[in-house]
Amino acid sequence: MSQSKTALVTGGTRGIGYGIAEELATAGYDLILGYRQNQDRAQDAKAHLEGTYNVRVFLVSGEAGDEATVDAYFSCIQENFGGKLTALVHNAGAYWQNRSHTKPDASGSWFQGWEAYEFFQGMYPKCFIRLVERAVTCMEDGRGYIVAVSSPGCNTSRGPNLAYITPGTAKASVEYLVRHYAKQLAPRRITCNVVIPGFTKTEAWDPVVEELGAAQVDAFIGSCGMRRWASPREVGGVAAFLCSEKAAFITGASLPVDGGVHLK
């Protein structure tokens, strides 16, 4: 008899997070999905995943960067899964004040200000630390998987994106933390990796399209790598692989899932 598998996915009810959730459900994972505030979309996601894949899905709302939300995730795990967790995927993200900041300010600075800086630090590295420190107490040795989702330009493998300095520095911290936890948890045979999606067709791009125009965005996508958008499930399939026994000897890796964008 196979063991049950449980995964927590932050930002798991739409976009890349939902693609990850679908792929994990396909692999037989029961799910705890975090979301911010779109309850109708979250309920639709739950109904589809449970009805299609015959898995259990629990929803937790709240800002991922708030400690109270992390507490709620693990209360859900305790109440519904006896405090056992197999996989953690930290995918949640957002734009500061719902704009992508594609232009510098009047002084030529791309920095969005200290309030934005604290927002992104809370959502990415601070939240990741809170999640991992709690998750590893719920994971069995030899049967635990941790995955973070980053963005292009947040490590030394590709030039930095000037317009992404404030969220980018936060995600760069997460990529370092992934390597730290991979090394720390290796003796327990719990893996920790990061996936770096390229241009993935989700509603998260709506503010960029609004600011730059659809034609300019499409032209940009057409000039990079394989010259097409990724689908959320293409990214999700890689995340689900990293949460499987087939990837049990992969840890501390930063894996671009971008159709060659990182080669530019």
Whether pLDDT at 212 is above 90: no
The span from the CA of 147 to the CA of 126, in Å, is 15
State the DSSP H helix or E strand holding residue 264, giving kind and residue range, or none if neither: none
* For the chain, domain boundaries: 5-263
Using alpha carbons, select from 141, 131, 153, 20 the residue that is nearest to residue 67. Answer: 131
Helix and strand numbers (H, E) in the chain are 9, 7
Q: What are phi and psi of 135, to 5 degrees?
A: -65, -40
The span from the CA of 19 to the CA of 154, in Å, is 22
Q: Name the pLDDT band for 139 (thresholds 50, 70, 90).
A: very high
**Average per-residue pLDDT in the chain?**
89
Q: Is 142 left (phi over 0), alpha (psi -120 to 50) or beta?
A: left
The span from the CA of 62 to the CA of 66, in Å, is 8
Which pLDDT tens digit goes with each residue over 164-210?
A: 788 889 999 999 999 999 999 999 999 999 999 987 777 766 767 77
Within 10 A of 70 (CB to CB), how many other CB atoms are there? 24
Q: Name the pLDDT band for 104 (thresholds 50, 70, 90).
A: low
Q: Name the pLDDT band for 100 (thresholds 50, 70, 90).
A: low
Q: Name the pLDDT band for 98 (thresholds 50, 70, 90).
A: low
CATH topology of domain 5-263: Rossmann fold (3.40.50)
Across the range 13-37, mean pLDDT stands at: 96
Using alpha carbons, select from 35, 96, 42 the residue that is nearest to residue 63. Answer: 35
